């Protein structure tokens, strides 16, 4: 008696898992090597961070503080958002301070600054100030001290210069002027900024976090304790788009030459904007969007295998029962 011919779903049930690994690997590698254009929808928490930073444009009495609270293991998600925010600040003349309390975060902080400033004529101590690495034991004293006087709480910058002597500090004293703190973390580090900088001194606090930390931080968005949030690679891709659409926007002048023409945030403009990856010359400024392409394709492939596997399972179960 001839054996029953196996159906496609039956074959899927006994498929060597190594073939699945190969397909998923290709689904990740191909979009990274050959980027394609995909629509990036910007969420409200990301919009809020952008608008808050942009409201400081050109003001000497306003600044933001970026705290790097992560190591290289979460660099893929957090580094693109850090570079994008620094580009935004440099483009729109927003004064920015950086600090870290983890030794492993120091090289990442320096790398982000160097990557972002390549296209801009910005100077340390004038346009931005890197406080550098400070031991974690000083975290709370510095956090609380900056509520009264930043120059006394930090004292010197990464180059050993006296903070009070820097030009960038002329109109910056405490959280009243350094009015936005963004903590980039893969942990609960942002809660300390919410508890002390926000609750005690009224500073605006935002978070740049890994995707798995997003659910833990949404309650703080709903209560207003966080003014905004960039969540994972998706949040980084969204901010990249906002910077390209608004901050680094260029228009043709009367001679047909592209000139910088930063524009105000607008939902209408955002809806109509379609930024092609091929139009962005520097690959450093589209890492998150390229990564999102690979992530999307890989997730779709995994979902397809899950669906096929379940159909095959119930199909074979039905046959056995019959």
Contact residues for 190 (Cβ-Cβ < 8 A; gap 6+): 69, 183, 205, 207, 209, 217, 226
> Residue 1: which pLDDT band, with cuts at 50, 70 and 90?
very low
> pLDDT tens for residues 25-57?
998 898 888 877 778 889 999 999 999 999 999
Token duo for residue 217? 């931080």
Indicate the length of the chain as a whole number. Answer: 322
> pLDDT tens for residues 210-261?
999 999 999 999 999 999 999 999 999 999 999 988 988 777 666 766 677 7
Rounded to whole angstroms, the Cα distance separating 139 from 126 reads 25
Q: Which of 8-22, 48-62, 275-289, 301-315 has the lowest mean pLDDT?
A: 275-289
Name the residue with tokens 């054996």.
3
Nearest Cα residue to 192 out of 227, 149, 225? 225
Q: How many CB atoms lie within 10 A of CB 259?
A: 10
Backbone angles phi, psi at 138, to 5 degrees: -95, 0
Rounded to whole angstroms, the Cα distance separating 242 from 224 reads 22
* First CA to last CA distance, the chain: 19
Q: pLDDT averaged over the chain? A: 89
- Antiparallel, parallel or unpaired: β 250-252 and 258-260: antiparallel
Give me the pLDDT at residue 144, please: 96
Q: Which residues of 139-149 are buried (b: 16+ CB within 10 A; e: fewer)?
A: beebbebbbee
Tell me, letter by letter, the H, E, C secondary structure of the chain. CCCCCCCHHHHHHCCCHHHHHHHHHHHHHHHHHCCCCCCCCCCHHHHHHHHHHHCCCCCCCCEEEEEEECCHHHHHHHHHHHHHHHHHHHHCCCEEEEEECCHHHHHHHHHHHHHHHCCCCCCECCCEEEEEECCHHHHHHHHHHCCCCHHHHHCECCCCCEHHHCHHHCCCCCCCCEEEEEEEECCCCHHHHHHHHHCCCCCEEEEEECHHHHHHHHHHHHHCCCCEEEEHHHHHHHHHHHHHHHHCCEEECCCCCEEECCCCCCHHHHHHCCCCHHHCCCHHHCHHHHHHHHHHHHHHHHHHHHHHHHHHHHHHHHHHHC
Rounded to whole angstroms, the Cα distance separating 296 from 28 reads 9
> pLDDT tens for residues 147-191?
999 999 999 999 999 999 999 999 999 999 999 999 999 888 899
Token duo for residue 319? 């046959």
> pLDDT tens for residues 91-117?
999 999 999 999 999 999 999 999 999
Share of the chain above pLDDT 90, in %: 61
206 pLDDT higher than 90: yes
């Amino acid at each position: 008696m001839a054996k029953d011919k196996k159906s496609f779903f039956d074959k899927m049930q006994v498929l060597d898992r190594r073939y699945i690994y190969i397909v998923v690997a290709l689904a990740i590698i191909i979009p990274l090597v050959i980027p394609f254009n995909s629509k990036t929808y910007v969420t409200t928490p990301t919009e809020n961070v952008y608008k808050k930073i942009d409201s400081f444009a050109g003001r000497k009495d306003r600044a933001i503080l970026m705290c790097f609270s992560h190591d290289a293991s979460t660099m893929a998600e957090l580094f693109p958002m850090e570079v994008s925010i620094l580009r935004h600040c440099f483009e729109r003349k927003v004064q920015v301070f950086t600090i870290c309390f983890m030794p492993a975060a120091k090289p990442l902080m320096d790398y982000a600054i160097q990557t972002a400033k390549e296209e801009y004529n910005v100077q340390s101590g004038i346009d931005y100030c890197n406080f550098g690495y400070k031991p974690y034991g000083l975290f709370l004293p510095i956090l609380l001290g900056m509520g009264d006087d930043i120059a006394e709480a930090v004292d010197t910058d990464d180059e050993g210069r006296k903070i009070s002597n820097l030009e960038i500090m002329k109109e910056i004293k405490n959280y009243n002027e350094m009015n936005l703190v963004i903590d980039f973390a893969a942990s609960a580090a942002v809660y300390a900024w919410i508890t002390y900088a926000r609750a005690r001194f009224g500073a605006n606090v935002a978070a740049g976090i890994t995707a798995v930390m997003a659910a833990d931080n949404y309650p703080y968005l709903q209560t207003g304790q966080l003014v905004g949030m960039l969540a994972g690679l998706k949040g980084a891709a969204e901010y990249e788009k906002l910077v390209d659409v608004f901050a680094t926007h260029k228009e043709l002048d009367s001679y047909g030459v592209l000139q910088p023409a930063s524009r105000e945030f607008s939902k209408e403009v955002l809806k109509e904007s379609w930024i092609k990856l091929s139009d962005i010359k520097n690959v450093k400024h589209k890492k998150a969007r390229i990564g999102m392409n690979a992530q999307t394709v890989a997730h779709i492939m995994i979902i397809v295998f899950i669906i096929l596997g379940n159909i095959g399972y119930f199909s074979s179960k039905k046959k056995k029962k019959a």
